[in-house]
Amino acid sequence: SGGLVAAVLVAALVAGGVGGGIGYWAAERNDGGTGSTTVSAAAPQDLKREPGTVAAVAGKALPGVVTIEAKSGAGGIGGTGGEGGEGGTGTGFVYDREGHILTNNHVVESAAEGGTLSATFSDGKTYDAEVVGRAQGYDVAVLKLKDAPGGLAPLPLGNSDKVAVGDSTIAIGAPFGLSNTVTTGIISAKNRPVASGDGSSGKNSYMSALQTDASINPGNSGGPLLDSGGAVIGINSAIQSAGSGMGQSQAGSIGLGFAIPINQAKTVAEQLIKTGTPVYPVIGATVDMSGQSGGAKIASEGAGGSEAVPPDSPAGRAGLKSGDVITGFDGKEIDSGPTLISEIWTHEPGDKVKLTYERDGKERTAEVTLGERKGDS
C-alpha cells in the first residue's frame, strides 16, 4: 500500500515569537479637523451558540488549553533547528484537576534539563510548570503546574479507536505563537504510520497516527484534536509540509496533519504520572529501519555484532530468525521497519499478537507475546 506515509515527516516543531510577520492596522478618522463623527452602536446581540457547533465546542475547550513556553537551561529560548526541533512555543491541555498537562515531548525537551517551562491559559494567566515524565519514542510528555489553581477544567477524553474517516475535527493551539487558535477539518485517514525525526537515529518518534486536514502548524504541537462533541481524540504532533528546504526553517500547513491517538497517549500519560518512566512493548528483534518497501526485515546482526534475534526474546521464542521479513502485525500490513514499530507501540507489554512473515519466499505466521523495555534508550 504505497499510500502509507512510513517515511520521515517533518515534526510540527515548536515556533518562536511571531516577530513582525503579523501586524494590526487601525485608522482614525479625521474630518479635516472639523470634528468627530459618532456612529451609534447596534443593540447588543445574544451571542450564545447552540451546543455542538464549532463555536460552542471551542468556547468550552479553550479554558482547558494552554500555550507552553519552553526556555532552555542556557537561558534563552531554543530555536527551531537541532535534533527534534527544540525550544519556543507549543501547546498542551489540562489532563486532570491536579494540574497535570499533556503535551508533546518535542515541545518541552529543550527545557527538560535545567530549563524553565510556563503554561498560559486562555484568560492570560501564566503558571510555572515542571516535567513529570517524558517519552521520546511516543513523543508524549506530562507536565504539572507548580501552583495549580482551583477549578481546572480537564478536557474530556474520547475513544480514538472509534473514530471514522470523515468525522469532523477541531484543533486548538498556538501556530507560530498565535495562542488560542481554532481550526477545523475532518479525519482524513487512520492508522497512518508516521516517523517524526530523521527516520534512522535513536531519537525518532513513531505513531500510528490520525491524519487530519485541520490546519496544523509549528506551535500546534501538543495541542488537542477534538471530535465534534469536544472530546480529545488525539494530540497534534506532526505535519507533512511541501515548504521545507530552500532555506526555510519553518513550513506551514498543506492539510496533512498527524495526531497521536488519545487512547495510546492516555496509556503513556498514566505510566508517566505513576513512575515518570515510559514503558515500550517490544518484540526483541533488530529490524532494518531504512524504510524500504515490502516489509520489515530482521537484520543479519544487531548493534556491535550482537544477535538480531536473541533466543530468549519474544521474537526468538516465536521462531523468528535473521533475514525474515515481517509483512503483517495484528492484521495490519507492514511495509517497513518504522511502520512495524508504529504498530507495536499501539499495544502493551504482554499482549499476544499474530505476526505474518516471509522466509525463503514462503509466508509463515507466528504468535508473539510482546515484551517490554523501560525508558528511552
Contacts of 297 (CB under 8 A, 6+ apart): 287, 288, 323, 324, 325, 326, 337
The one catalytic residue in 72, 100, 110, 139 is 139
In DSSP notation, 198-226 reads SSSSTT-EEEEEEEE-S---TT-TT-EEE
H-run or E-run covering 339 = helix 337-344
H-run or E-run covering 241 = none
Contacts of 300 (CB under 8 A, 6+ apart): 308, 322, 323
SS3 for 298? strand
Within 10 angstroms of residue 332's Cβ, the number of other Cβ atoms is 18
The amino acid at 322: S
d(C-alpha 234, C-alpha 210), whole Å: 7
The amino acid at 123: D
Q: CA–CA distance from 293 to each of 168, 273, 302 (Å)?
A: 32, 38, 21
Instruction: Let me know if 139 is a catalytic residue.
Output: yes
Instruction: Let me know if 106 is a catalytic residue.
Output: yes
d(C-alpha 221, C-alpha 244), whole Å: 17
The amino acid at 231: A
Query: CB-hemisphere CA count at 13 Å for 7?
Result: 5
The one catalytic residue in 106, 160, 253, 324 is 106
d(C-alpha 339, C-alpha 344), whole Å: 9
Q: Where are the beta strands (DSSP E) in 174-300?
A: 181-196, 205-212, 224-226, 232-239, 257-261, 279-282, 296-297
Smallest CA-to-CA distance from 283 within 345, 374, 219 is with: 345
The one catalytic residue in 118, 179, 221, 342 is 221
Q: CA–CA distance from 23 to each of 18, 19, 20, 194 (Å)?
A: 10, 9, 7, 35
Catalytic positions, please? 106, 139, 221
